[in-house]
Amino acid sequence: MARVSFALPELSGSTAERYADLAAAAAALTDGELDPIANAANLSALVKAAVPDLNWVGFYFYDGTELVVGPFQGLPACIRIPLTRGVCGAAARTRTTQRIDDVHAVADHIACDAATNSELVVPLVGSGDELLGVFDLDSERRSRFTDDDQAGLEAIARVYVESLQPGRVESLRPQRARP
């Protein structure tokens, strides 16, 4: 039967170790589920609850023309972002993670929440090299995101992309059958 309650994973150790535990929790949370909305919703909630000092965590999906807001945790956000605009647009366009220590120094930053001071946006690219969208994290703290945060959150983004691969369900079946 499906799990009906959820306990946050116990995270301890260095930042890298905590993110490794969080990635394992993210993989468990998406295990056997292929729905892109369901997995984005649960991963947003997991990361927002587990990682300190974030005021917005969520997904934008590429609809073939622009980015459209998906599941997130935080204040209501800009609905549509062209690939030519903002930090999210830059991540999608260049397919490289954008780490911004001070969003006020970025001319075309789109301020959805005026409280945001730093930002990390990870592009989501599928197994066929197609752009799926971006995973966007905002903080009220300046320079919130370190190298370890970036590596850890890129790993969570990979868990999300991999969760959408049908083959993954098959490969995880024997593990799920364990007592």
Distance in Å, CB of 110 to ligand SME, minimum: 4
Binding site for ligand SME (CB under 6 A): 56, 77-78, 81, 86-89, 109-110, 112, 116, 119, 136, 138
CB closer to ligand SME, 36 vs 86: 86
Q: Is 30 exposed, middle or buried (0-12, 13-18, 19+ CB in 10 A)?
A: buried
- Minimum Å distance from CB 88 to ligand SME? 3
C-alpha R_g of the chain: 16
Please state the closest distance from residue 168 (CB atom) to ligand SME, in A. Answer: 28
What is the H or E stretch that residue 50 is in? helix 36-50
The minimum distance between CB 50 and ligand SME, in angstroms, equals 19
Starting at the earlier edge strand, list the strands of the sheet with 80-82: 80-82, 66-74, 56-62, 131-139, 118-125, 98-100
Nearer to ligand SME, 86 or 152 (CB): 86
- CB-nearer residue toward ligand SME: 25 or 67: 67
Instruction: Please check whether residue 12 is in contact with residue 18, taking contact to mean a CB–CB distance below 8 angstroms.
Output: yes
Q: Which residue is nearest to ligand SME (CB)?
A: 86
